[in-house]
Structure 1
Amino acid sequence: MAAAAGTWSWFVPLAAGVSLFKCLFINSYHSTDFEVHRNWLAITHSLPVSRWYHENRSEWTLDYPPLFAWFQFSLSQVAQHFDRNLLQVQNLNYCSRSTVLFQRLSVVFTDLVFIYAVRQCCRCVEEQRSCRDIWTRPSFVLAVLLLWNFGLFIVDHIHFQYNGFLFGFLLLSVAKHLQSCHLQGALLFTVLLNLKHIFLYVAPAYGVYLLRSYCFTQDNTDGSIRWRSFSPVRLLVLGSIVTSVFTLSFGPFVVMGQLPQVLTRLFPFKRGLCHAYWAPNIWALYNILDKVLAHLGVSLQLLQEAELPAASMTGGLVQEFQHSVLPSISPSVTLVCTLLSILPAAASIWWRPRGGRGFLRCLLLCALGSFMFGWHVHEKAILLAILPLSILAVENREDAGIFLLLSTTGHYSLFPLLFTPAELLIKVCLMLMFTIFSFTALRKLHSASLLCPLEVVYLLGLLVVGVVCEVVIPLSPWKQRLPFLPLLVTSVYCSLGVSYSFLRLYGSLLSSQRKHKQL
């Protein structure tokens, strides 16, 4: 026991250092999400449950699942001891020093869930060799990649959200599946879905994996299905866990006849294909292609400019819009594209289950497929792939290369979230530190080069994009005429890297299948 304790003696100081560092940013810039969550604190504290999903005095209405609403209600019981005025629904945009202190500290405190989950994930990592150098231990490298993750830090502790708390449930669920504790993993993920429904992105991976690996108790040697091994009892137990959590979460609103209202808040399809700032996915490339074709059509006199729709999709607004030349995309089209993109990954773990690592790879492909083709995807959703990929990155050389590409590109795509000059140096320094550590630690861990020359050239191109978007355009006359241009350039360039990473991840899945067949 003493030896085991000594092995993990570095974890507590590392986690404590991260938490203390977060406290340095209590008075930094925060986005409108700060007011969003303050308003939700006020709604859940001051109004009866029957009014939670009807209250609309603020434009920031409650649009998370019921368990997150109860989470906000729990926080409000503490918040009243800091400043009761922040819990008044009519106090829109209220931002006293006590309010800032409470909300910032609440994120740091709830990150304890994330810290515990990181510890469990580190225990699942295979220590391939005993080494006195802590910097070459997969568990240590993984802990740093997760605890000090650049994207999670700026999104939660500067921009302001509770993603660390939520990702803690996801990583803890993944760790349970890596340990073959399927029911615990299913329970944690079901709770997570009722905290934030964006995790529906990876629900197909959970559904297929649990049905295949838990409800089927035996396998042939080649991994094919033996239907006679199906266990209805296990399916019933699994279903009861999922049903119980959803009943506790949504049951009160069903009884009150408010389920349609809740679902309308959770799935507002009128917000349009893309967020105000395009997520770096396939639709960003589709949008820019439409713009280029429209411009060429007008230049070649094939199209009349007066007949084209207004350029609303580059206005930085959350709204529906029509494409000029290419067919406009509907929610049903994005759903079909998303399902097609994740189908091969789901089929892979159904026909050839490869344990927890196979599940994790499928989860990543579901996350990226949903990010690439989903409706109204937020740029922050890229963390849903980056964080779990860290686990594979410390164990496999191919995955380490994909992680470097995806994390560097995905993290840079978050730069526009911090757009005030005061945060420029902060975000640049933080990302450089995280990126340098990632490249150095993973290269040393795998004792090999992880990227090809063209991939390195692409990542170096981010430096050029950074200078153009952060320095050149803000100082040029284009800033006034084309305020959305830096966002457009960032989104389109990063879309190329995220798309390439998605294809490489699928390539690694196919290569692992070929190796399995050869064995």
Structure 2
Amino acid sequence: MGRRWIRWSHKRGMRTSLIGLTFLACAFLKLCLGLGSYSGENIPPVYGDYEAQRHWMEITAHLPINQWYTYDLQYWGLDYPPLTAYVSWICGIAAYFINPTWVALDSSRGIETTTSKLFMRTTVIVFDAVTYVPALFLFSRTWFSTRSKRTQDLAFLLLMLQPALFLVDFGHFQYNSVMLGLAIMTLNCFATGHDLLGAVFFVLSLGFKQMALYYAPAIGSYLVAKCVLLGPKDGGKLFIRLGLTTVATFILLFLPWIPPFASSPSAILDPVSRIFPFARGLFEDKVANFWCASNVVIKWRKWATQALLLKASATLTLLGFLPSVAVMGKAAWDMKTWGSPAGPGTTMKAPETKDSSGSDDKQSPTSSHTPILPLLPYALLNSSMSFFLFSFQVHEKTILLPLMPLTLLFSGATPDSAVFLWGALGCNVAVFSMWPLIQKDGLSLQYFVVILLWNRLIGHNPFKIIYTIFSAKTFVHLLSAGVYAAILFLHLLEPMITPPARYPDLFPVLNVLVSTPVFVSLWLWSIKSCVQVSWAITGPSGLSVESNEHKKYSSERPRTISKSDRTRTVSLGYTQGKRAKRSSTLSAAGSSSALPSFASVFRDNSNSGVVDERGPRL
């Protein structure tokens, strides 16, 4: 349905208004979701996440900054980084200006008037519109710059209608889109070569919600890898600038808690101790990760101390994202430019490509990028999924972080590709994994409407896939068919059977046992994809050359993709049946003109391995 709508709009000359129409349609859907209930509605004494966000507006609007993280911690004490507090302060000031009773100190607790709820819902949509929406638009224009305009518009539409974020932010009630929007702006800056600005955006993402740490290994390894690519001189300068920029941004965020603005040096511990709640234990609710799934058999909190579980969690998380970090480092070393005949500091630019009309599309200086940029989305998926599966105090809503890079990859994929199937499966199961939370919030109708609309929009039919379980030819087809059948069975069974008194959490546990294998598979697939994308860029053994003669040859002549290379990239998705129509070249490392185009590798991880410069037609 999404493709047909984009095609219909373009044929009728609505290209310029299409983005505005998409934004308005999504805003309308968000307002419709806001008509439903939310977290903790009419459930005293502490209500839910909605009341937490409102209470933070209350305390930041009335109390001095040094009391924000210490005031009445038993009643939704502020436990997010300073940027969230500043946003709450802005909203609190606006609420006080409109109606002081909405944020009256202490006396407004639990307020649920129609007008206050309208104000709260509006704040989510406004901050989503000023952070998340522009980030998605820039992503569709920057990362798909060599693709057709239809593909860019379709990617924007699919990203805007991400179902899990819809249900959490605009139904359950949170502001995750701000954090995710800042993280996506980081990627946009990296894609255009503005690394320092990208570092600022990532610190702001961390400064809004500490969960953005899920992306830190991938972001950090990418920036270090770029420093390696540039060499000791230029790379060293970039490393120092990145360090200074990062530290300066953190200092600005925490400035009110740092002397001389704070009364004592220990004031910084007030926000830090609230941001990292290690005292709360390994997990609380049923979450589709390793610890909750394995806890069905191994009662971790009875078998091990909290200190041991914390160390085990940190170790497994580290091992989980280590492969992508290692692949990023190896690819950078194999493709370093400072050993090339051009000398250190060679400018890294993508080769000239052609747009959808066949005309030359010369890259501007601002579109230069590192050749390892295509690895970044897969590294983000690997890193964030590792944290979700293995880290400490994971909530069901944090699946939104792995979903972000997965949806970015999915947005440019064709329906017959492996990336499309993994993306559709990941989004559907992510929404299903939050079913107990959504059901508790009274959003069952919204859950079914949003997920059915999403699948219809992308042209994915889970019911049809169930029928192919006995004829599935790939692992992702088989996994999808089995998981969708289990989800359908559980949804049909739950209203008909009352769990026994001995197992009151029977269906949440079954939800965990169905969802966790999918997330583990996505984690493994992200590692596999990192390796394969690295091979597509550098070759299995790297494209670093040992002799000056070879370097001279590689800088003057492109390396034609051999038959073995094509075979190797089939699993990556570059060659697929009738789509492998055009021949192309993959340049060897050694000079700036020999670096592979980002679009040719990132395009959708599922089209031709031989690069189709125009991109797939809709």
TM-score by length of 1: 0.83
Of 144, 153, 175 in structure 1, the residue corresponding to residue 188 of structure 2 is 175
C-alpha displacement of 1:30: 1.0
**Structure 1 residues without counterparts, runs of 5 or longer:** 132-136, 219-226, 292-320, 444-448
Q: Which residue of 1 is the match for residue 316 of structure 2?
A: 337
Q: Is the 8 A contact 2:143 2:188 kept in 1?
A: no
Cα 1:98–1:56 shift into 2, 3 Å: same
2:203 alignment partner in structure 1: 190
Indicate the residue corresponding to 2:518 in structure 1: 497
Quote the Cα distance in structure 1 between the aligned partners of 2:89 and 2:511. Answer: 37
Deviation at 1:452, TM superposition (A): 2.1
Give the 3 Å change call, closer, same or farther, for CA 328–207 of structure 1 in structure 2.
Answer: closer
**TM-aligned CA deviation for residue 421 of structure 1:** 8.7
Distance 2:214 2:67 in 1: 29
Which residue identity lines up with residue 333 of structure 1 in the other structure? A
Residues of 1 paired with 2:307 and 2:69: CA distance? 31
CA distance in 1, matches of 2:420, 2:16: 23
Counterparts of 1:328 and 1:439, CA distance in 2: 47
Q: Shift in Å at residue 141 of structure 1?
A: 2.9
Check the 8 A contact 2:37/2:441 in 1, yes or no: no
Q: 2:329 corresponds to which residue?
A: 350
- Which residue of 1 is the match for residue 218 of structure 2? 205
Q: Is the 8 A contact 1:22 1:157 kept in 2?
A: yes
1:409-466 deviation line (CA, Å, top 9, x unaligned)? 11111111222595322211211111233344999xxxxx984234322222211122
Q: Contact 1:404–1:439 at 8 Å: present in 2 too?
A: no
Q: Which of 72, 76, 82 is the equivalent residue of 2:98?
A: 82
Measure, in 1, the Cα distance between the counterparts of 2:506 and 2:330: 46
What is the Cα deviation at residue 68 of structure 1?
1.2
User: CA, structure 1 residues 171+477, in 2 after alignment: closer, same or farther (shift >3 Å)?
Assistant: closer
Instruction: Report if the CA contact (8 A) 2:136-2:181 is conserved.
Output: yes
TM-aligned CA deviation for residue 130 of structure 1: 4.5
Equivalent of 2:158, from 142, 145, 148?
Answer: 145
Tell me the SS of whatever aligns to 1:206.
helix
Measure, in 1, the Cα distance between the counterparts of 2:305 and 2:251: 43
Alignment partners' CA distance in 1, 2:173 and 2:52:
10
1:278-319: CA deviation from partner (whole Å, max 9, x where unpaired): 22111122101226xxxxxxxxxxxxxxxxxxxxxxxxxxxx
1:247 aligns with 2:271: no
Mark the CA change 1:234 to 1:103 in structure 2 (over 3 Å): closer, same or farther: same
Partner residue, 1:65: 81
Counterpart residue number, 1:33? 49
Cα distance per residue 1:461-503 (max 9 Å; x no partner): 211122233x134xx252x553322211112211111111111
1:127: how far off?
Answer: 6.5
Whether the aligned pair in 1 keeps the contact of 2:381 and 2:523 (CA below 8 Å) is no
What does residue 140 of structure 2 align with?
Answer: 122
C-alpha separation in 2, matches of 1:498 and 1:466: 20
TM-score by length of 2: 0.70
Deviation at 1:70, TM superposition (A): 0.9
CA deviation map 1:132-151 (0-9, x unaligned): xxxxx432332222211111
State the match for 1:446 in structure 2: none
> Which has the larger displacement, 359-368 or 401-410?
401-410
Partner of 2:298: 290
More deviation in 29-38 or 244-253? 244-253
For residue 466 of structure 1, the aligned residue among 486, 491, 498 is 491
- Structure 2 distance, partners of 1:130, 1:47, is 52
The Cα of 1:510 is off from its aligned counterpart by 2.4
What is the CA distance between 1:259 and its match in structure 2? 1.4
Determine if contact 2:499/2:505 at 8 Å carries over to the other structure. Answer: no
Contact 1:205-1:359 at 8 Å conserved across structures? yes
Over 3 Å counting, the alpha-carbon distance change for 1:98 and 1:481 in structure 2 is: farther
Indicate the structure with greater helix content.
Answer: 1
Q: Do 1:65 and 1:197's aligned partners in 2 also have CA atoms closer than 8 Å?
A: yes
Cα distance in structure 2, aligned partners of 1:485 and 1:477? 6
3-state SS in 1 of match to 2:297? helix
Query: What corresponds to 2:387 in structure 1?
Result: 370
> Offset of 1:327 from its aligned partner?
10
Q: Which of these two proteins has the greater Rg computed from alpha carbons?
A: 2
- Whether contact under 8 Å (1:361, 1:509) holds in the other structure is yes
Q: Do residues 427 (structure 1) and 444 (structure 2) align?
A: no
Q: Take 1:421 and 1:236, find their aligned partners in 2: how far apart are those partners?
A: 48
Label 1:481 to 1:328 Cα distance change in 2 as closer, same or farther (>3 A).
farther
| Cα separation, 1, equivalents of 2:295 and 2:499 | 24
Task: Report the more deviating stretch, 177-186 or 68-77.
Answer: 177-186
Looking at structure 2, the residues matched to 149 and 422 of structure 1 have their Cα atoms a distance apart, in angstroms, of: 20
CA distance in 2, matches of 1:164, 1:48: 28
AA in 1 matched with 2:80: Y
Equivalent position amino acid for 1:211 in 2: V
C-alpha distance in 2, partners of 1:67/1:426?
Answer: 30
Contact 2:33 2:171 in 1 (8 A): yes
Q: Distance in 2 between matches of 1:9 and 1:83?
A: 36
Task: Give the counterpart letter for 1:472 in structure 2.
Answer: M
Please say which of residues 84-93 and 451-460 is displaced more in the overlay: 451-460
Aligned residue in 2 for 1:223:
none
Give the letter for the 1:434 counterpart: W
After TM superposition, give the deviation of residue 156 of structure 1 in Å: 0.7
User: CA–CA distance in 1 between the matches of 2:479 and 2:270?
Assistant: 50
Structure 2 unaligned blocks of 5 or more = 1-9, 40-47, 333-370, 465-472, 541-564, 566-618
Hey, what does 1:314 align to over in structure 2?
A: none
Alignment-mate amino acid for residue 235 of structure 1: F
Counterpart for residue 301 of structure 1: none
Q: Which amino acid counterpart does residue 117 of structure 2 have in structure 1?
A: V
Check conservation: 1:19, 1:108, Cα contact below 8 A: yes
